[in-house]
Amino acid sequence: MPISIAIVEDDADIADEISKLIEETPDFKLSCCCRNMHSALERIPALAPDVVIMDINLPDGSGIQATAQIKRILPKTEVMIFTIYENTEDIYQALEAGASGYLLKRSSSSTIVSSIRNMMKGEVPMTAAIARKVIQSFQRKEASTQSNPAMASLTPRELDILQLLAKGHPTKEIASQRSISVDTVNTHLRRIYEKLHVHSRAEAILKYLDKK
Amino acid sequence: MPISIAIVEDDADIADEISKLIEETPDFKLSCCCRNMHSALERIPALAPDVVIMDINLPDGSGIQATAQIKRILPKTEVMIFTIYENTEDIYQALEAGASGYLLKRSSSSTIVSSIRNMMKGEVPMTAAIARKVIQSFQRKEASTQSNPAMASLTPRELDILQLLAKGHPTKEIASQRSISVDTVNTHLRRIYEKLHVHSRAEAILKYLDKK
DNA sequence: GATTGCGTCACCAAATCTGGTGAGATTTTC
DNA sequence: GAAAATCTCACCAGATTTGGTGACGCAATC
């Protein structure tokens, strides 16, 4: 069975180019070609293509919004973002919306074809440069966990324990992960509760997640 | 000022190799060379090197734990994970722990040197293959945040109890707020855990907060 | 009219958590 | 060098949570 592909792209030249590429590839099949978000959301859900090639800058909205909508209705459909700029925030949001690939428009035909095939295999095709950008932004998000006011009174170790707590680990597991005794973990927990003015694990976790 | 670099690596051959590489590079300076996690956590905080090259498989613990500890004490120190395998879960955890790079041991000398320099510039050096893997796991995490399949199976009452749970209330309080017995609340909790595939209050709360 | 799902309650055992006391070893700070 | 902070561990008692079994009434569904 051929891979059915829909295109959402407002630029007629680029849309034609991709259309031709799809028609020329033996096991690819063009499902439909939309010029804006509105018609994409109207036609694609009924067609349920395997793949959607999605432009970000559409005349009547963002391809990221469209991606989120389509993925909600068709979770199995893979969306490949296809754009000119490698804007970090866009990439991040696109992945969050459920996109499975992020290609630049200057990519070669063979890259596009192989990326679609790889995407169907469960990979997340993108250039190394884009991948690095995403990781950087991911990295920064994690790093921002650093500072917060109420948590300031906690010692490094206590914060460490609290973070494990906030992942849902039971005491026993925290102890083994940090190679310390259960008693020690409990001591830390008691002090954490005291400092955060809470009386249970759940409250401590909620307080921690709040201040993030 | 030269870039001071500490090595944490249990394999003597590899440690020597990297040591030599650092000493041969003009603006690099070897800060210290630790053979296990314990000595790393003992010596590195005092030395405050610019960069730590960290092995994951240490005889007395994980380099990821060590990374988290070091980053907590020395937030400005950049940690480069240096390992044989490109295990997705390890990579993910390493980045979460605050690592800024992930290199394979089979990398060339010039790659290692340039990666360290790039890392000092704020980049997150890693091979394209590793980057893709991380994004895939990121993608899967995000994708699961989409809709709430598990939550849908909860009855209205169960969801109600779960929401109170997620505010940090203890069982007793939930019972009195809803004018039902503690036993009933516990029954609901048991069913909630079963449906959400969790085994503790904390996990249930986290799952609930995630899917929001 | 039987089945099924839901909400309620009870009893019970084992595991876990909360909270208290005390205390040795280190490191940091003054 | 003394004092304070941190991390570690132990022991203990009571509260809470987890998980299992069983059961009753009610409503909706079939």
| Residues paired with B28 in a beta bridge | B3
| Dist. CA B24–CA B45, nearest whole Å | 25
Say yes or no: A178 contacts chain B, CB-CB below 8 A: yes
Torsion of CA B102, B107, B110, B116, to 10 degrees: 10
Say yes or no: B46 contacts chain A, CB-CB below 8 A: no
> How are beta strands B51-54 and B3-8 bridged, if at all?
parallel
Q: Any idea how long chain A is?
A: 212
What single-letter DSSP state applies at residue B151?
G
Q: Is the pLDDT of residue B88 over 80?
A: no
Q: How many CB atoms lie within 10 A of CB B176?
A: 13
Closest nucleotide C1' to the C-alpha of B182: C9
pTM: 0.54
Q: Which residue of A has its CA nearest to B129?
A: A128
Question: Which of A3, A4, A9 has the alpha carbon at shortest distance from A31?
Answer: A4
Distances (CA, A) of B115 to A95, B108, B119: 26, 10, 6
Contact A139 B126 (CB under 8 A): no
What domains appear along chain B, each with residue ranges and CATH number? 3-127 (3.40.50.2300), 141-208 (1.10.10.10)
Residue B24 identity: E
Q: What's the confidence (pLDDT) of residue A91?
A: 77
Residue A185 identity: V
Closest nucleotide C1' to the C-alpha of B170: D16
| Dist. CA B206–CA B168, nearest whole Å | 11
Nearest neighbour of A202 by CB, restricted to B123, B136, B205: B205
Footprint of strand D on the protein (CB under 7 A): A 155-158, 178, 180-181, 183-184, 186-188, 200; B 170-172, 186-187, 189-190, 193, 199-202
Distances (CA, A) of A184 to A61, A190, B69: 55, 10, 17
Q: How far is CA B7 from the centre of its chain?
A: 20
pLDDT tens string for chain A (212 positions)? 788 999 999 989 999 999 999 999 989 999 899 998 888 888 888 888 999 999 988 878 788 888 888 887 787 888 998 888 777 677 777 877 778 888 888 888 888 898 888 888 766 777 666 666 776 666 655 544 444 555 667 777 888 888 889 888 999 888 888 888 889 999 989 988 888 888 999 999 998 887 55
Q: Is the pLDDT of residue B206 over 80?
A: yes
Chain C nucleotides near the protein (CB, 7 A): 5-12, 16-23, 27-28
> How are beta strands A57-58 and A78-83 bridged, if at all?
unpaired
More confident site: B89 or B180: B180
Arithmetic mean of pLDDT, B147-159:
70
Q: Any idea how long chain B is?
A: 212
Contact B131 A136 (CB under 8 A): no
> How are beta strands B28-34 and B3-8 bridged, if at all?
parallel
